[in-house]
Amino acid sequence: MEQETVCYSCGRTVSAAFTYCPWCAAEMADGAGYARALERAAAADRGRSAGADRMHRIEAELSSMEAALASFLDRVPRSR
Ligand SMILES: [Zn+2]
């Protein structure tokens, strides 16, 4: 039976004989590359966390802009 491993980048099952993941083209992590793969995964996780913080800030800004727009439109007379 063919040996299989899991791509650290996309998580798909890949033949251990492959040097690159056929799904996402990431270089397959061998024993020597494992620490590097963990570091990449940790960096991606930090990036996601920063992205989530940014989305929350944008959401708050949009809410305040929406409130300001609603308050402005309340004061504008409607045509006809
Ligand atoms: Zn992959």
Q: Would you state the torsion angle of the CA atoms of residues 54, 55, 56, 57, taken in this order, to the nearest 10 degrees?
A: 50
Distance 53 CA to ligand 1 centre (A): 27
Residue type, 55: M
Distance 11 CA to ligand 1 centre (A): 6
Distance 30 CA to ligand 1 centre (A): 14
| pLDDT tens by residue, 14-71 | 888 888 889 999 887 665 566 677 788 888 888 888 888 899 999 999 999 999 999 9
C-alpha–C-alpha distance, residues 26 and 41, integer Å: 13
Q: Kindly report whether the global pTM for this prediction surpasses the value 0.85.
A: no
